[in-house]
Structures are given as C-alpha cells and as structure tokens.
Amino acid sequence: MLSSCLAFPAICDKVSPVAISERRIGAADSKTRAQLLDAAERLLIEDGYAAVTSRRVAAEAGLKPQLVHYYFRTMDDLFVELFRRSADAAFARAEKRLAKDPSLATLWALNNDPRGAAFLVGFAALANHRKTIRVEIARYAERNRARQLAAITGALQSAGVDEGTIPPVVALVLMTGLGQVLGIERGLGVKAGHAETLAFVERVVAGRVAP
Amino acid sequence: MLSSCLAFPAICDKVSPVAISERRIGAADSKTRAQLLDAAERLLIEDGYAAVTSRRVAAEAGLKPQLVHYYFRTMDDLFVELFRRSADAAFARAEKRLAKDPSLATLWALNNDPRGAAFLVGFAALANHRKTIRVEIARYAERNRARQLAAITGALQSAGVDEGTIPPVVALVLMTGLGQVLGIERGLGVKAGHAETLAFVERVVAGRVAP
DNA sequence: GTCTATACTTCGATAGAC
DNA sequence: GTCTATCGAAGTATAGAC
C-alpha cells in the first residue's frame, strides 16, 4: 500500500483527530453508544435523515431519548460520528477487496453497491444544511477517489487500455456516476435502460469491449 | 414530436389529473399560492428538504404560517405541487432546446445543469420517506429518459456511431450519471477528476473521440 | 374565498437525581 | 459515570372569523 501512498498522497491522509465536541461524555466503547449509532444508521438509510431525531433513534434502539443527548451532545455530533463510522468501515471493506483483487470487476462491484447509494443520498441531502457534515463527506469522497484511482490506473494498464483512449480518472468518475445513478433510480423504482447498461458494463469489465 | 411519441410512447404520457387532495382550497392561480411555492423552492434548493416547513416557507414568503395549510392542505401536497411545477418547467425548457438542436452537446448541457443536480438530490432524499413524492419523481424520470433517448438515438446516428459500439440508452444513462455525480460533488466541494472528465466529455461531444 | 386564532404533537437540549 | 424529569421552541393541522 505504501506505493499507492506515494503516488496518490490523499489516500494516506490521516483523519484529523479533532474532538467533535468538547463536552462529550460517555465511554467511546460504550455498548449503549453503539446501539444508538446502529439505530440511527437504520433510520437514515430507510427513512431519510429527517427521520433521524433523538426520539426516534432512541425508540429504534429501545432506549430513552435523553440518552442520545448524553452520548452525543448535539444531533450534529451524532451525524458526524455516524458518518465517520460508516465511511471508515466502507473504506476498510473496499481496501480489503482491492488489495485482494485490484480489478475493474472489483471496482465496479464497489461502486455499484446498493448500500453505498442509499447512504450517499442520505448524507448528500443532509450536507445541504449541516456544514460540519459537508466537509466530512468531501474529505471522505476525495480519499475514496484517490484510492480507487490508484486501483483503476493499474487495472486499465493490465487490460492494455491506453491512457490516450480514456484517462483513468475519467473512467473512474464515469464508473462512480453510473453506480450512483443506478442506485438512486433503483430506489425510486425507475428502471428504463438499467438492464442494457448493466449488460454493457459487464462486457467492458470483462474486457470484451474497449471502454 | 409525433414521431417520437410513436417510437417512445412514454414521452407522451399524460400526467394523470388526479387531484392531489380532495379538500384543497384556494384558486389555482392565486398570487399568494405562487409566492409560497417560490419560497418553498428556494428553501429546498438552498437548505434541503428539512428546511421546508410551514413556518419557514411562510417566513420566506413574508406571510403567515397558516396560509401554507390553507393553500396546500398538508405539507405532502405542497411538495407534490412543487415538484410537478418544477419538473414541468424543466421538461418544457429541455423540450425547447432539444427541438431546436437535438445534438449531443445539447443533451450534455441539459444533464450537466447545476440547478438540476441540486433539485434532484433534494427530491431524491425526500422521496425516501414520502411515498407520494417517490412515484411522482419516478414518473418524471422515466418520461425524461424517454425524451432524451429519442434525442440521443438520433444524435448518435448522425455522428455515425454504431449501435453495436454503444447502445443509445447506455450512452444516455452514462451521461445522466456523469451529470449527477459532478453536480453532487460540486455541491460538496469535491473536485478530484472533474476538470479531466469535463475535458473528455467535451471532446466526445464534439465528435473528436468515439464514445 | 381568504385569512387568523389556536390545539396539539414532536423537536433538541439541559439541569439535576441517582 | 449514567440516566431521568422537564422546558421552551418549532412542527403540522384545524376550527372558525371575516
């Protein structure tokens, strides 16, 4: 992984250890704390961020509403912690799969993950009126792009695709956009063109068609 | 346009005239009504759907909160009407431009419109927990895809791109996804790869590179 | 037809009991 | 260190005055 860090420094950016809130109480490894985050995550994905209120999170976790404010002083703190936890987990999963098989197929599988799409839409909308969340997402997105760029650059070389045909970063942005639009539309129930597009991507990924 | 209707029937789907709510009061052409919708639209785009509350919409419009419930019985009704109004306007604008110049450049301009991205994210997130909105968006998305498919099919033919190289609907979904991811990331402040991608698309659209 | 007064619910947050 | 009782603000919605 060191080579990737040298070629694409953003990959190895440390997440700054700045405290979310000075007055946070409660042990970081509290079981209750984790239960609340789990509940918030379910609500965010299934019902959207407007459903993530202190009362509903608590109800979903089978706990009292006030506990939310004990473990996360403000709802903003909860959102930031939730995002970091999920993003770090997703990044770690991706890292594991890419280290094992840094292929176009793996990259496509990562970008076409339905969980990722629901998660992204939830947080992208949330970012609109929570500035603290916006910078958090932006940092993660850049880090993710850098990591995937390292992978796709190698994958395209292996596949014998010339950089003049399509620059790796362009192929990556295309792939990301495709995964997102398919994910969002799947959620809405829109299906026009999906089957054809998936079939096409499968062929490209398998190397049977030039990208 | 009739030919498009025959080839792609979804284009000419009439929006069903089902009443949003039986008990809606107030003239459809009321000035106050339009002011409220304008205010709601500004709030949705700038601060996200969670900011679109009866109180804030009224404040933004310089009116009393209760008027929102007079003109739109529920907030759900307001959202549906807002979406329809915006979607119809967007579709009409697109139709005008495509009729004038049904080229890849026009299609790309439409899909890369920053307003469109902010609008989509806002409503896609909203759709998560408002079922009435979800079907409305899905219907519009399908209609839009059908219209653009008609255009891109012709544009690719004119450009001499064989359907075997890339099916028109696949090119369209790619273009839509690209416009969306660039729009969303622009809003977040993510920039990695954008310049290269835009340059690449310009070349493709200008016909200097096979898609 | 248009708008106001008001009911009732849920929100985030804190002060303080254990 | 952990949890509860409770407050004031903001939310949707309706009944009824003009």
pLDDT in tens, B91-110: 999 999 999 999 999 999 99
Q: Give pLDDT, residue B118.
A: 74
Contact residues for A164 (Cβ-Cβ < 8 A; gap 6+): none
d(C-alpha A168, C-alpha A150), whole Å: 9
Query: Closest residue to D3 by CA to C1' distance?
Result: A67
Q: Give pLDDT, residue B125.
A: 82
Residue by residue, what is the 3-state secondary structure of chain B? CHHHHHHCHHHHCCCCCCCCCCCCCCCCCCHHHHHHHHHHHHHHHHHCHHHCCHHHHHHHHCCCHHHHHHHCCCHHHHHHHHHHHHHHHHHHHHHHHHHHCCCHHHHHHHHCCHHHHHHHHHHHHHHCCCHHHHHHHHHHHHHHHHHHHHHHHHHHHHCCCCCCCCCHHHHHHHHHHHHHHHHHHHHHCCCCCHHHHHHHHHHHHCCCCCC
Which chain A positions have a beta carbon within 8 Å of B46's beta carbon?
128
Residue B74 main-chain phi, psi, to 5 deg: -125, 165
Q: Give pLDDT, residue B106.
A: 97
Look up residue A17 and give its DSSP letter.
Answer: -
Which chain A positions have a beta carbon within 8 Å of B51's beta carbon?
128-129
Q: Give pLDDT, residue A24.
A: 52
Cβ separation A177–B172 shorter than 8 A:
no
Q: Give pLDDT, residue A3.
A: 39
pTM over 0.85: yes
Length of chain A: 211
Which chain A positions have a beta carbon within 8 Å of B167's beta carbon?
196, 200
Q: Which residues of chain A have pLDDT under 70?
A: 1-26, 210-211
On the question of pLDDT at B3 being above 60, the answer is no
On the question of pLDDT at B13 being above 80, the answer is no
For B18-34, write each residue's pLDDT tens digit: 444 444 567 777 889 99
d(C-alpha B12, C-alpha B95), whole Å: 12
| Contact between the CB of B39 and strand D at under 7 Å | no
Which range in A115-119, B171-175, B181-185 is most confidently predicted, on average pLDDT?
Answer: B171-175
CA distance B55 to chain A (A): 16
| CA dihedral of residues A154, A157, A161, A163 (deg, nearest 10) | 80
The percent of residues above 70 in pLDDT, for chain B, comes to 87
Q: Give pLDDT, residue A88.
A: 93
First vs last C-alpha separation in chain A: 27
Q: Give pLDDT, residue B89.
A: 93
Cβ separation B187–A128 shorter than 8 A:
yes
Banded pLDDT at B17 (limits 50, 70, 90):
very low
Q: Write down the mean pLDDT value for chain B.
A: 86
Q: Of the candidates B161, B169, B146, which has an alpha carbon nearest to the alpha carbon of residue B5?
A: B146
Q: Poorest-confidence range of A70-74, B9-13, B135-139? A: B9-13
- Cα A123 to Cα A91, A116, B124: the distances in Å are 16, 11, 12
B211–chain A Cβ distance below 8 A for any pair: no
Q: Give pLDDT, residue A29.
A: 74
| Contact between the CB of B174 and strand D at under 7 Å | no
Q: Give pLDDT, residue A31.
A: 87
Length of chain B: 211
| Contact between the CB of B132 and strand D at under 7 Å | no
Chain B contact probe: residue of A49, A137, A170, A198 with most B CBs at under 10 A: A170
Q: Give pLDDT, residue A197.
A: 98
| Contact between the CB of A53 and strand C at under 7 Å | yes
On the question of pLDDT at B2 being above 70, the answer is no
On the question of pLDDT at B157 being above 60, the answer is yes
d(C-alpha B124, C-alpha A137), whole Å: 18
A8–chain B Cβ distance below 8 A for any pair: no
Q: Give pLDDT, residue B24.
A: 52
